[in-house]
Amino acid sequence: MFACWLQTFVGAGLPVPSLMEEVVVGGGPDFRGYSWLANTMRSLLPMAERLDISMDANMKSDSLADWIKDDAVTRGLMVWSPPMVGAFARRSQ
């Protein structure tokens, strides 16, 4: 995955990029990331169907965020987002 970015940057005449990865992590009843995580999971449904991956009925539910929250709070879990990776490079003047 990162090799593709390297080739893109270098192919455009830029130096090798610096990469940064971030994730959103949280838990408890007041964590605001449950709906964001649910929307992210729902966005993957079309690809899962194309790949013939069966998904739990909860994944298709409008109450997925509540389901994730209830499960995390009840079990004392932390949840995290998929990693977001950014790349940047600076061209010398």
Residue identified by tokens 């950014």 is 86
Rounded to an integer, the average pLDDT of 18-28 is: 92
Residue 90 lies in a domain: no
For 3, 18, 20, 68, 83, the CA distances from 8, given in Å and listed in that order, are 9, 13, 17, 37, 20
Of 81, 83, 92, 80, nearest to 2 by C-alpha is 83
- Number of domains present in the structure of the chain: 1
Residue 46 lies in a domain: yes
Residue 74 lies in a domain: yes
Which two tokens mark 43?
A: 């966005």
Higher pLDDT pick, 59 / 84: 84
Q: Tens digits of per-residue pLDDT, 7-19?
A: 888 888 888 888 8
Residue 57 lies in a domain: yes
Q: Are 82 and 41 in contact (CB under 8 A)?
A: no
Residue 93 lies in a domain: no
Rounded to an integer, the average pLDDT of 70-77 is: 96
Query: What pLDDT, on a 0 to 100 scale, did the predictor assign at position 58?
Result: 67
Residue 75 lies in a domain: yes
Q: Which domain holds residue 60?
A: 22-83
Query: What pLDDT, on a 0 to 100 scale, did the predictor assign at position 2?
Result: 58
Residue 5 lies in a domain: no
